[in-house]
Structure 1
Amino acid sequence: MTTGDAVLNGPDWETGENIARALRMSRFTPGALPKDVLQRIASEKNLSSAFGKRMRMRLADLSATPESFTPDYTKRYAELCRYAGDLTAHQAYAMTNLFGLDSARGYQELPNDKKFSFSDDDRPQFEYQVGWHFFVGNVFDTKGREYGVQLMFWRYSLLPPKMAKEAGLSDIENQVVEVHLAVSSAGKRHYRIRPVIIAGTTGLIDFSTGPYRYSVGNQMISSESADSLFPLRLQAWGIDNHEDVPAEISVDITVLQTKGYVLNGDEGMLPSCGGVGTLYYSVPNLRVDPEKSRLSIGGEEVGLSGGKFWYDHQWGTGFMPSGSPRSEILRAAGLLEDKPWVGWDWMEVQFDNDTELALSSIHTKEQKDFVMQTGPTPPGVMTAPAVGSFILESGEYFPIKAMLKVTDWVQSSVTDGLYLTTRAWYPNRVEVIVETAEVPEECRRFVMIPIVSTGQHGFFAAGAEYSEGAVRIESPEGMRIGAGFLENVSYADAWGQSLRLAGIPDTPGMRELFGKPAIPRELKAAAAGFLMKPENAARLSEELAKCRGL
């Protein structure tokens, strides 16, 4: 598409819809857009031909400089080049998630040690490959009705920073941000917009400080203070298309800070090893300001009387898609491990006694019989260990261990535009036993029960389905003792969806080419021989000693 075509005809329908939704418009109407927005949409940098050109540049770099102790992706990258002609921003983004383990190269590497500084670290960290600002909360209206709310800005740097600069892109122009918004009405149903995906080249992504303001069109996270993140205002809008009559949903919620920042993992590193991993912190017990907070569902305006939110900020390199360490020693060692694809269960719980906890359970081979299940009957009882933090009423926190027991499942039936139903089964009722003795007795055994029975499923714009929704927290005896959120990722096969979203046919051959590669015996033997050398064995021990949060 040329600049002239973009001005006369507008973008493709999906890009147009995303731009409209970011601007709180039900449909793309060029005449209703500000002149400067139209100019940016039609600019050379935002053309589909430009996205294709930049993708081919990235693929050429990956192909020209293969890494040691890494699978051979020659055929994969050649095939991607075949489909990297004119690309929408969405197709380019989906395509990056089909890259190999060498995709972490060129992005900001994670440190071996990190001294966090707030609110400076609350900013989007554009130099890293991926990052997200995530807010979930359980709120109540003036009639006592309960709602669950999720708002997330998930961003991805399409090119490594140096390459983006060479292509004439600023840090923000190099971003793709997807906006997730969902509202569950207790006892009724789950409302969720399809992810709104916006490229920085549209000019619709913006970030500034003094006060903090992070926006994607008219979707916004903004501070009411010039020198602190909080009080923080969350504003978002969208359309749920899951039933015959579309329903508009919106939130305008202000939250107040009552506790400090919680550094997850090993002092905020979860993990950091060989330059890849994530940095991660949370702020629990954010109180809803009822005088400044409301939501709406299907035209019904709902004033809020109170509630609590949870804030996560996590960012890093080599996380999604999975990337190998920047250290040759660690890459060689990683070849000898047969790790499953990354998947997890995460939960936050805010007890009525003003204590909180968060737990995460990374999937291992022990969970293989419970993921990717799509049959007519649900899986059986699944147990898994989990680790996390417990936050005292004072705000002090300490690490904890727990056991999760999934006793009930719900099957996804969501189809939303380009995103097709997976029929995957997800945890629906979870019993938790906290094993750490320092946790108060009344918080050590509880059950998580969703506030709706319909499932709370959605999609990442790159194709993966996930479950994210509000739960009530009950004691084993059935007494309500708090509220929280439950998240489940990688229970559904995303390969077909990811291929289609990237503009690539979903065929058995393509699934084989883009799936997890088999490691040749010769490559494993070379890695083993490399590590057997005394000097390399010593270096491996040194490198592993620097790893944090494993």
Structure 2
Amino acid sequence: MMTSREPENALILRIIGWSAVIVLCVIAFFGSVLFKSTPPERGAVEMLLADNEKGFANVERGYEIRFPDDYGLHENYRQEWWYVTANLKDSEGNEYGVQWTVFRSAVSPKKGEAWNNQHIYMAHAVLTTKDVTYKSERFARGGIGQAGVSSSPFSVWIDDWQWSSSSESPFPATLMGGEQDFYFNLDMQLTQPEVLQGEKGFSQKHATQNVASYYFSVPAVELSGTLNIDGKSVAVEGKGWIDREWSTKALSDDQKGWDWFALQFDDGGSLMMVQVRSENGPYRFGSITSAAGETQRLESDEIEMTPVSFTKVSSGRYVPTHWQLKLKNYDLSIETTPLNEQNWLPFAFPYWEGPVDVSGSKQGAGFMEATGY
């Protein structure tokens, strides 16, 4: 982590390794784009298709997820990510959204040491207000100290962007990320136990094919700290959501993108809802958790997801940003409205992600992600 290394060394590593990182990132994330006449916007989906699965571990039913071990690395699988989102407010009631994500993707099942390391790290830091989306992306390779994951104490980092604790437990923790025009430094505290998505953490992604990931969420995290926006420091607090997921092939070739919601209600409950879109229609899954921490798995035929309106984003594409979500077995009917409709993130693989407000039969807030548009 940057806090335990000289800044000059980190800068030298960044300069020396940049060309190699770019080449490996192209191979890892866009190999199929370069050789298949596939639109660049499908980069996120292409990463998860994992054209070459040989040598990586398979995701199978029966794996027992353990804590805190499974917050850590799973290098036998092709990709994984640590995903933090947060809905925050300042003392005047102004709303903010924070996203902090670290992705790991393997070019080869042979790990390699030092500069021969075959694992690529990519990180996103995003701060959203009602008027502006501040965003930044970084790349690094494993094995040279610029990015990685440690278990004692727990830490996930790329340069000075880090989720770190002072013990083997991931909580309580500090979350840091950003650039010159925005930066966040937040304390995180777990307030509900983890939720195992799917069948005890085995998360099926396709109706008929054996395509899956291991997936758990932390549906209730308290956050407090400061945002630095264009040189102004703002004290904030609010609620966060964390996803941990790892796989070798998490999507099928016929699947084109997904719409994902992680919502926290004012009554203390929460909802995760996803649809993966394909030529044969959407495959949906999710979970609903009570304020007491009791979770029910949601089947595809229980979930209704309908876009209410579309927004033309900076890329010129239209993205569904207002949604109606229903669970007929729970008398739940809600609408989500984005804090900032223009939360298009033009990263190496572009997507829409940002904070949303919830109204209807329940009130609350959360995050939405949309890819493949």
Q: TM-score range by the shorter chain?
A: 0.7 to 0.9
- Distance in 1 between residues matched to 2:283 and 2:313, nearest whole Å: 25
Q: What is the CA deviation profile of residues 245-302 of structure 1, one whole-angstrom value per residue up to 9, with x for unaligned ones?
A: xxx11111111111111111121112389986311000111011x3xx1111111111
Structure 1 residues 40, 203: CA separation in 2 closer, same or farther (over 3 Å shift)?
farther
Equivalent of residue 279 in structure 1, options 214, 217, 227:
214
CA contact (8 A) 1:276 1:317 kept: no
Q: SS where residue 34 of structure 1 aligns?
A: helix
CA contact (8 A) 2:194 2:218 kept: yes
**Scaled by the length of structure 2, what TM-score is found?**
0.85
1:250 corresponds to 2:183? yes
- Distance in 2 between residues matched to 1:40 and 1:407, nearest whole Å: 44
CA contact (8 A) 1:127 1:171 kept: no
- Distance in 2 between residues matched to 1:266 and 1:23, nearest whole Å: 38
**Residue 327 of structure 2 corresponds to which residue in structure 1?**
434
**Residue 350 of structure 2 corresponds to which residue in structure 1?**
465
- Distance in 2 between residues matched to 1:232 and 1:97, nearest whole Å: 37
Equivalent of residue 124 in structure 2, options 155, 164, 180:
180
CA contact (8 A) 1:40 1:202 kept: no
**Residue 235 of structure 1 corresponds to which residue in structure 2?**
176
- Distance in 2 between residues matched to 1:276 and 1:426, nearest whole Å: 26
Where does structure 1 lack aligned partners over 5 or more consecutive residues? 1-21, 25-31, 52-86, 240-247, 324-338, 368-383, 414-420, 492-550
**Residue 140 of structure 1 corresponds to which residue in structure 2?**
89
Structure 1 residues 156, 142: CA separation in 2 closer, same or farther (over 3 Å shift)?
same
Q: SS where residue 104 of structure 1 aligns?
A: coil
- Distance in 2 between residues matched to 1:432 and 1:351, nearest whole Å: 14
Equivalent of residue 215 in structure 1, options 122, 141, 157:
157
Q: SS where residue 70 of structure 2 aligns?
A: helix
- Distance in 2 between residues matched to 1:272 and 1:353, nearest whole Å: 30
**Residue 192 of structure 1 corresponds to which residue in structure 2?**
135
1:308 corresponds to 2:239? yes
Q: CA deviation at 1:189?
A: 2.3
Q: What is the CA deviation profile of residues 108-151 of structure 1, one whole-angstrom value per residue up to 9, with x for unaligned ones?
A: 22233110110000013222101110011100112211101111
Q: CA deviation at 1:191?
A: 2.0
- Distance in 2 between residues matched to 1:361 and 1:39, nearest whole Å: 40
Q: CA deviation at 1:220?
A: 0.5
Equivalent of residue 289 in structure 2, options 391, 401, 416:
391
Residue identity matched to 2:150: S
Q: CA deviation at 1:366?
A: 6.0
- Distance in 1 between residues matched to 2:116 and 2:296, nearest whole Å: 36
Pairing of 1:518-529 with structure 2 (within 5 A): none
Q: What is the CA deviation profile of residues 507-543 of structure 1, one whole-angstrom value per residue up to 9, with x for unaligned ones?
A: xxxxxxxxxxxxxxxxxxxxxxxxxxxxxxxxxxxxx
- Distance in 1 between residues matched to 2:229 and 2:89, nearest whole Å: 14
CA contact (8 A) 1:281 1:313 kept: yes
Q: SS where residue 388 of structure 1 aligns?
A: strand
CA contact (8 A) 1:272 1:279 kept: no
Pairing of 1:337-416 with structure 2 (within 5 A): 340-365=254-279, 386-400=284-298, 401-413=302-314
Structure 1 residues 39, 294: CA separation in 2 closer, same or farther (over 3 Å shift)?
closer
- Distance in 1 between residues matched to 2:280 and 2:9, nearest whole Å: 56
Equivalent of residue 265 in structure 1, options 198, 210, 214:
198
Q: CA deviation at 1:170?
A: 5.8
**Residue 8 of structure 2 corresponds to which residue in structure 1?**
34
Q: Cα RMSD (Å) of the superposition?
A: 2.9
CA contact (8 A) 2:28 2:106 kept: no
Structure 1 residues 92, 41: CA separation in 2 closer, same or farther (over 3 Å shift)?
farther
Give the number of the structure whose residues are more often helix, by fraction: 1
Q: CA deviation at 1:386?
A: 3.6
Q: SS where residue 368 of structure 2 aligns?
A: strand
CA contact (8 A) 1:220 1:235 kept: yes
Q: CA deviation at 1:404?
A: 1.1
Q: SS where residue 345 of structure 1 aligns?
A: strand
Equivalent of residue 229 in structure 2, options 297, 305, 329:
297
Residue identity matched to 2:200: E
CA contact (8 A) 1:127 1:157 kept: no
**Residue 42 of structure 2 corresponds to which residue in structure 1?**
none
Structure 1 residues 33, 399: CA separation in 2 closer, same or farther (over 3 Å shift)?
closer
Residue identity matched to 1:450: P
**Residue 343 of structure 2 corresponds to which residue in structure 1?**
456
Q: CA deviation at 1:95?
A: 4.1
Tell me the percent identity. Answer: 23
Moved over 4 A (4+): 39-42, 97-102, 272-276
Q: CA deviation at 1:234?
A: 0.7
